[in-house]
Amino acid sequence: MQQEQAEAIAIQALSFIASDPELLPRFLALTGIEAGQIRQAANEPGFLAGVLQFVLAHAPTLLSFSEQSGVPPQDVSTAHRHLPLGDGDWDIQP
């Protein structure tokens, strides 16, 4: 998978989250950003990996996203690894 494909999946996931009235507030609370800051935050390294991490962290959310988007769950995981800071070390403090 190329980084461009991974980014496309993450953008689909972000759209999925933004359209869900239960997921969006949870996502915003966990990320600490406000709804109006999403576009700006999307340009930050690691943001798209964080979107996929959010989806991957909750099996029902992952399965719902996969069903709606047609992206298999394993492709979501693969996409996560192909994004900046998506290597699993994103939460390790130096």
pLDDT at 46 over 90: no
C-beta atoms surrounding 37 within 10 Å:
12
pLDDT at residue 91, as a whole number: 43
pLDDT at residue 84, as a whole number: 79
